[in-house]
Structure 1
């Protein structure tokens, strides 16, 4: 620990690493700097010491100035006399100080933020890559005007606006634009060697997610091929690629790198390529190359560098923002909990998980009383309370409404579920001095990767959680069924898609049965027989579970009315009864929709009888009562079917609205043998008369039963004893035979 302390102190002290590093890097920088002799002296094609000075300032701030001043003195006092060397050193230090002070004032407190970020790119381009080189070249020109330095055979020029100065200025711009980040990362890695691994990992993270090793290898091979062609210029003058014409062809490859491989990889590789190109310049640049040609080439490389680095920085920033947006989309911003997207992603990573579903339906009522903040605070607090009992890698997920989901590891989940259940029941929220402790339903199941029907699975678990509210224990979704949960969900989804496809294509077979009127006003009851591909019947409860009740009812209405319209000549004045689900009756626009179908097929409302199964919803919900009233006002008769299947219906009859009342077949079939059933039918007939409702008796299988029902006052008779049920298409042949 003491050694680390002294190392850190040495790296921060102005007399330590900030003083030594410029002395170590100056020989390398001057050696890699490239100059070319011309008639008036010599010019630099790339000048690296200035980039090294700025990089030292970026790392050490003003503490690097003593080291820079010392290395300048050691370098120039060996090459010039006292006065010219002092002027050059002062000009260099002054330009660096002015440029660095302006940069810090403009950048503010984030001046030392990570180099390469797009937030400070404009400021760094302005001060470090443009104004500092401009100040440097102007200060050097002042030194040249002073007359203390020679002009012939040196880098100095007696006039400002010459090709000599332009080439030197472009070399400074190019070095500051491309080489500062190389020196910056090199100095930081020398200061902290562990940063090398961080830079390597950061380079991989900045690349596009779809980048493969084959793509990087292909890019490297193409770059190497162009370099080999350029370096073979003196051997093959006829090949355009083996000349300076091949130099611009590197630009598309570097743009490829900028778009795909990230800023760090692109900037470092481009800097290495530039140094390599200039070090081996004699392979594609002859000694007699004109200065104007050099200026054009230098300007092209400068524009290439700016374009490449900007594109790399922007592309990397866009990928980072997209990744951040995707990460943000995995959490609910209100509850600060992972959402369903995060749950789906986490389930895809682990082969076997335990899902726990928590349902707090009382939160809906409580949030209406105390406000939505109660629901938010309760779910947040419950998630935090349960989070203390979770293992690493497990999580609580937010669901819309009043539900939560917990994902557990499979190992030892039975004991964990008991612990979580106990912790869940012990939780309560203090809200405005009142303890909030609603009942929580809990269900769980195991799932294997891949989970293809997550939403349907959560629906199954929600139903089991509601059952848990009644039993008071955690319900296992797999306990009462030997099939795996995901297989059952997949089968339900397949059945759902099969029903939708059948309704949209050929449909299901419709069957019809004659209902005999005592006064001769017969009508026909239409039913549908639904079965899956295996021949198993599809139950009404399954349609309600899938939410397809209205889809089926709408299809039946259209098919029935289309049949009446098609055969109106063969069936003049006929009436048909269609049974609808109770949930369909609760549609606010049901009467208008039926009126639209009647107008479409040019039928009268009295030709349609709407049958609805007896349900408490008919008297307990406003929509059910309103729909019945609207249908009756439209002119359609409304029949209440399955009446008497529950004795609670007997007491609800006085408040029931409708035109016809159908007595359940279970009473009718046994009325001659059971006096109790007989009395129930008799009482229902009397009560129906008092409500001005006609009576339909179902399940009539003999003439004796039919005669007795006539005597009790039944208006319509239906059953095998009256008429057999047959396919709807056969009805035309039967009526013609009659």
Structure 2
């Protein structure tokens, strides 16, 4: 037998460590036990040998009994006569066998579970803390009439209902409740010194997560101060803290520990405090204390002990259940993968991460065909398929719907993402014998904590992953390497807050720019500007994409329409017959009741339909049979004019022009600026004019900056000119006064 096996055998067999420890700990337990002399004889304030024996049984089971028997023989045979020692030892052994047998019969294989587990509290309190001490006292009282045990000047009392017997019973109860765990952990440390560090870690683990070193130190100082007041200062009836009345002041401190520091630390602290208090009882307890008063003090300590230990066990269990609930909240219960909460937690704990967004839209169609179970199984098996490519600490996270997210370490993430992309293309799921291989869109970016807007970031990544499905390769969100994606998201959300503030506080400002008609039928285009909450003016290219992305198009358009129509209503006399062109989002035209809303606004402000020109950028939303195209037809039928803005820059503009019938066509300024120096731009403008005349549309040219450009555009048949050469934008509120001043200047 090798050395390790021999050591293991020695620590478990009855003749080994259990036997040796019983012989060593019996004298220690006896020395730490505290007796007090009363007129009727000695009484124990606390009796520790029985607690030590229970702890031995909890660690070594029945193998502890031979050592306990030997220790009892060694301890009692030279203190009492042979018959007396035999009776005392028999009572000890009978008590332990009956109590431990009852406990083992109900706990079965879980008899050795460590302290602090609430599921074991009920049986341990009954068998180990109540049954064994009660049987112990009952057996001694049962043999007292035999007159073998000494009664004079001893701890034994004939009267079972005397204060003497009650005090002995309370001393055994307190030790069985408060001291068993002290001996239990002492024995475990003696058997394996490394267990000290395990116990320390377990105590720390049971602490509340919000406990600080400062709080623990304050508690320790207060406890030491209270114990010092009891044990080191002179007994004085004028100072209750130096008498037995100071003991109840320990209860709030220990309840504080029970609620904040957990069962293990509290039980060990209270056990140590009890040993100190009992050993130095003469410092604070009146030597002439009455037995009845002593019984009350002992009863209070017994109640305190039960309260403290139960409260600490309950609070520890509550924290453990709460921690388990929090851990379960980090996992999707259906898919079994970490969820968004877990992703946020892991991102906060990492110094930097690379996020990969997997978008699998075909799963929606497949789950409708084959059932929801297919989506669940596909995500699970895909996560398992990708796991070999992940490092320790990296994971696949579940998102609602048909998306997944991977968190990678930033070191070498670019090449690893390429390998992941290749691994994704190789994967397929066999479902009812059919290979399921949907397309997977992949986007990625790097982030550093704190990630303040995770949900918005994932939304952006989802859109990029959708683009990946069309491009066939992974899309990097950080097209600008020097601009972190988190900063882009933060700036976008800041602009969103500014837009929301402007909608609520009237931060949108309208500008008006004159559009000159070659036949004298001038009108004005309304240009939108925004002032943010800091008073800074923002240009449309900054805030309009955010308005479009977050679905605030109608909110902005309705405010602009109301302000424009209200201006016409207020200025009927100085500006009779004025026409205003208002730019609207294409999405606004797709509102089912849009035209009815326009008609109601025109009627409310008393504005004729011909005074309102609706401008909208050409878009796929204006295709034939769409809501946008229907709204255009209804607006023209109402009497409003409709213009397509920035024509020539959109995709398939000419083909879409065949499907849309509008009144006006605005040529994008990028062609007009260089038309005299760039023959291609000139030819594009000429072709647009030809197509517009065929469709019987009037033509508007933007960005006319010189008179030479204006003259060339007139020759091409352009009907309206707009730009700096015609007139610079001015606030709409100043348009009436500016028009009046201009009219006065031309009068003779």
Which residue number corresponds to residue 701 of structure 2?
A: 699
Q: 5+ residue gaps in structure 1?
A: 686-694
Question: Bigger shift: 111-120 or 551-560?
Answer: 551-560
Which residue number corresponds to residue 163 of structure 1?
A: 163
Whole-angstrom distance in 1 between the partners of 2:82 and 2:320: 53
How far does residue 586 in structure 1 lie from its aligned partner after superposition? 4.4
Which residue number corresponds to residue 387 of structure 1?
A: 387
- Aligned pair 1:617/2:617, yes or no? no
Kindly indicate whether the alpha-carbon contact (under 8 Å) linking 1:643 and 1:661 is maintained by their aligned counterparts in 2: no
Kindly indicate whether the alpha-carbon contact (under 8 Å) linking 2:34 and 2:47 is maintained by their aligned counterparts in 1: yes
Which residue number corresponds to residue 333 of structure 1?
A: 333
Kindly indicate whether the alpha-carbon contact (under 8 Å) linking 2:211 and 2:260 is maintained by their aligned counterparts in 1: yes
TM-aligned CA distance change 1:666 to 1:38, over 3 Å: closer
How far does residue 201 in structure 1 lie from its aligned partner after superposition? 0.9
Which residue number corresponds to residue 642 of structure 1?
A: 645
Whole-angstrom distance in 1 between the partners of 2:186 and 2:625: 76
Which residue number corresponds to residue 665 of structure 2?
A: 663
Whole-angstrom distance in 1 between the partners of 2:97 and 2:565: 91
Partner SS state of residue 160, structure 1: coil
Whole-angstrom distance in 2 between the partners of 1:620 and 1:527: 28
Could you list the per-position Cα deviations for residues 505-531 of structure 1 after superposition, in whole angstroms to 9, with x for gaps in the alignment? 341221246789999999865331358
Please list, as runs of the form range in 1=range in 2, the aligned pairs for 1:264-663 lying within 5 A after superposition.
264-512=264-512, 526-530=526-530, 533=536, 537-539=540-542, 540-560=544-564, 563=567, 578-586=582-590, 611-619=615-623, 624=628, 639=642, 641-642=644-645, 645=648, 648=652, 660-663=662-665
TM-aligned CA distance change 1:677 to 1:123, over 3 Å: same
Kindly indicate whether the alpha-carbon contact (under 8 Å) linking 1:643 and 1:662 is maintained by their aligned counterparts in 2: no
Which residue number corresponds to residue 688 of structure 1?
A: none
Partner SS state of residue 388, structure 1: helix
Whole-angstrom distance in 2 between the partners of 1:621 and 1:124: 79
Question: Bigger shift: 421-430 or 289-298?
Answer: 421-430
How far does residue 276 in structure 1 lie from its aligned partner after superposition? 0.8
Whole-angstrom distance in 2 between the partners of 1:621 and 1:52: 90
Please list, as runs of the form range in 1=range in 2, the aligned pairs for 1:92-241 lying within 5 A after superposition.
92-234=92-234, 238-241=238-241
How far does residue 175 in structure 1 lie from its aligned partner after superposition? 0.9
TM-score normalised according to structure 1 size: 0.85
Whole-angstrom distance in 2 between the partners of 1:36 and 1:709: 121
Which residue number corresponds to residue 253 of structure 2?
A: 253
Which residue number corresponds to residue 30 of structure 1?
A: 30
Whole-angstrom distance in 2 between the partners of 1:446 and 1:336: 26
TM-aligned CA distance change 1:602 to 1:545, over 3 Å: closer
Whole-angstrom distance in 2 between the partners of 1:236 and 1:211: 36
Q: How many residues align?
A: 720
Whole-angstrom distance in 2 between the partners of 1:296 and 1:41: 19
Whole-angstrom distance in 2 between the partners of 1:136 and 1:593: 92
CA RMSD of aligned residues (A): 3.9
Whole-angstrom distance in 2 between the partners of 1:569 and 1:175: 101
Which residue number corresponds to residue 41 of structure 2?
A: 41
Whole-angstrom distance in 1 between the partners of 2:291 and 2:493: 76
TM-score normalised according to structure 2 size: 0.84
Whole-angstrom distance in 2 between the partners of 1:22 and 1:636: 106
Partner SS state of residue 396, structure 2: strand
Which residue number corresponds to residue 692 of structure 1?
A: none
Whole-angstrom distance in 1 between the partners of 2:657 and 2:418: 48
How far does residue 260 in structure 1 lie from its aligned partner after superposition? 2.1
Kindly indicate whether the alpha-carbon contact (under 8 Å) linking 1:91 and 1:143 is maintained by their aligned counterparts in 2: no
Could you list the per-position Cα deviations for residues 239-284 of structure 1 after superposition, in whole angstroms to 9, with x for gaps in the alignment? 3322222222122222222222221111101101101110111111
Kindly indicate whether the alpha-carbon contact (under 8 Å) linking 1:26 and 1:71 is maintained by their aligned counterparts in 2: yes
Could you list the per-position Cα deviations for residues 214-257 of structure 1 after superposition, in whole angstroms to 9, with x for gaps in the alignment? 33222222222222221234365543322222222122222222
Kindly indicate whether the alpha-carbon contact (under 8 Å) linking 2:529 and 2:537 is maintained by their aligned counterparts in 1: no
Whole-angstrom distance in 2 between the partners of 1:213 and 1:733: 72
TM-aligned CA distance change 1:321 to 1:604, over 3 Å: farther
